[in-house]
Structure 1
Amino acid sequence: MTLEILTSDDLRDVQHGFFTRKGGASSGVFQGLNCGYGSSDQKEIVTINRARVAQAMDVASAALVTIHQTHSADVEVIRSADQNTGPADAMVTDVPGLALGILTADCQPVLFADADAGVIGAAHAGWRGALDGILENTVQSMVDLGATREKISAVVGPSISQRAYEVGPEFLDSFLSDDPENSRFFIQGNGDRQMFDLPAYGLHRLQAAGVGSAGWIQHCTYSDPQRFFSYRRTTHEKEADYGRLISVIRL
């Protein structure tokens, strides 16, 4: 099956792609393009899937750079494909030929570019990372490499949508403690539950960081099992494990 790659006009000046699960070699609960070595899928199969992604991005497999994501606000500056990286949740580079890959399964994959400056970024922004500043830190790291804040385009890829993201009162309290105006990203659910709009919150943080444009690709990972892996859907369906989607950008 052919790979399915979603793109955004806001990033049309750089090669990029939000890959769905279609076209991969994995089977079972990982059916399709599982790119997560952190899953219990066969490592050899994940390697095949990543090689297909690299080929689609016109880079060697070794030039597809990923990091150990930990829901932090830490950003790595990538200078070479083989550099040692610590745990982090975003990467930036100004080196042509490197492809930055972010893995997700409901959290926001966010791709960034200032095409004029030749600086790109990629971030994994779940609720914790977004609240702690991963998006702003990515923007600042790009500026440190020569990007202009107002010329940065940022696009949020397939993520869990508000209609599928039920949270408890402690979750709401974390956001209200940070900023009472964050209440606008929640609507009432059943009982004491709230429904959280993660993509809208991500876009808010990007806009507050001063980027030139910020948008969401408008695909919900939870609601489309044929195209997307979803940690929350896997949990609800009591499956043993779940695949990881990959989103990639390169100069």
Structure 2
Amino acid sequence: MTLAQGHLGPRIRWAFSDRLAVDGVPSSAPPYDAFNVADHVGDDPDRVRAHRDALAAAVGVEGHRLVSMAPVHGNDVGEVGAPQPEPVPEVDALVTRVPGIALLTVAADCVPVLLGDSDAGVVAVVHAGWRGIASDVVGSTLTSMVDLGADPARIRAVVGPAVCGLCYDVPRERYDQVVAIAPSAASVARDGAYGLDLRAAAVDRLRGAGAHVTLHGGCTQESDALYSFRRDRLTGRHGGVVSLEPEQS
């Protein structure tokens, strides 16, 4: 885990992992090697738990207070009110106002997004594949944050690694479906086929709403340090977490 981490304003911490091993943390065996944080791909549950604990610790949270989701490539958002051991089912985004909870999103080509409004005390994570971009999961998450008191102009976001438009060749029908909703996703793949740049679409949607956006990481398919389902098929997932720190008394 080559950790990237930072703050989305006061009280909000974020971190992204990659797939590289960490000293002192047991590694997953092939094909999940070495720092898989997904619990749905067939990896050893104890290894996954150790990796999640280490990632949660990077944002100052104990592992049992990390909350994940079970994405279905839609646009539903789950509001988290307390720690829970099981993933929030059938959502592609999570939002909370509760301090001391780490929200987790995992990916291996799809776009992971971490968001926060420190003034409102609201944080969120998004998992955005092509269906999520087409159904505006990023916009749904922004709406959920606003419902909890966030202001789009105060929201800060970091968009993590994903497959790039040069590597993501798609059928014409899928290209047309996504680009009709998110024109900034339009790309040409390296082989001259229709391509989709989902990260560009996510960034454009966020900035169009007024959010401040930074990017972390590159193309998952091009980097051996990242998991890529398109490249490897049976593989693990890297992850991103965000947490809201308690107010100082």
Confirm or deny a common fold (TM above 0.5): yes
Residue 218 of structure 1: how far off its partner (Å) = 4.2
Query: Distance between the aligned counterparts of 1:165 and 1:206, measured in 2?
Result: 21
CA contact (8 A) 1:149 1:212 kept: yes
1:205 corresponds in structure 2 to 205
Query: Distance between the aligned counterparts of 1:184 and 1:147, measured in 2?
Result: 27
Aligned pairs (5 A) from 1:67-82: 67-82=69-84
Residue 78 of structure 1: how far off its partner (Å) = 0.6
Query: Distance between the aligned counterparts of 2:216 and 2:6, measured in 1?
Result: 7
Tell me, which stretches of 5 or more residues in structure 1 are unaligned? 236-240
Residue 75 of structure 1: how far off its partner (Å) = 0.2
CA contact (8 A) 1:103 1:124 kept: yes
2:247 corresponds in structure 1 to none
Name the amino acid aligned to 1:92. Answer: V
Q: Does residue 44 of structure 1 match 2:37?
A: no
Q: Does residue 149 of structure 1 match 2:152?
A: yes
Classify 1:128/1:8 alpha carbon distance in 2 versus 1 (closer, same or farther; 3 Å). Answer: farther
Name the amino acid aligned to 1:31. Answer: D
CA contact (8 A) 2:165 2:189 kept: no
Query: Distance between the aligned counterparts of 2:137 and 2:85, measured in 1?
Result: 21
2:239 corresponds in structure 1 to 246
Aligned residue pair count: 238
- Could you give the per-residue CA deviations for residues 199-227 of structure 1, whole angstroms, max 9, x where no partner exists? 1111122223x1331232241111111x2
CA contact (8 A) 1:21 1:245 kept: yes
CA contact (8 A) 2:175 2:186 kept: no
Tell me, which stretches of 5 or more residues in structure 2 are unaligned? 245-249
CA contact (8 A) 1:8 1:155 kept: no
1:5 corresponds in structure 2 to 3
CA contact (8 A) 2:166 2:190 kept: no
CA contact (8 A) 2:178 2:185 kept: no
Aligned pairs (5 A) from 1:39-188: 39-82=41-84, 85-178=88-181, 182=183, 185-187=186-188
Query: Distance between the aligned counterparts of 1:183 and 1:154, measured in 2?
Result: 18
Which of 20, 30, 34 is 2:32 aligned to? 30
Residue 183 of structure 1: how far off its partner (Å) = 7.0
Name the amino acid aligned to 2:203. Answer: L
Query: Distance between the aligned counterparts of 1:150 and 1:38, measured in 2?
Result: 36
Classify 1:80/1:168 alpha carbon distance in 2 versus 1 (closer, same or farther; 3 Å). Answer: same
Q: Once superposed, what is the RMSD of the aligned Cα atoms?
A: 2.0
- Could you give the per-residue CA deviations for residues 17-47 of structure 1, whole angstroms, max 9, x where no partner exists? 0111122521211111101111111112111
Query: Distance between the aligned counterparts of 1:29 and 1:97, measured in 2?
Result: 33
SS at match of 1:246: strand
Identity %: 32
Deviating above 6 A after TM superposition, structure 1's stretches of 4 or more consecutive aligned residues are none
Query: Distance between the aligned counterparts of 2:37 and 2:112, measured in 1?
Result: 14
Query: Distance between the aligned counterparts of 1:98 and 1:184, measured in 2?
Result: 32
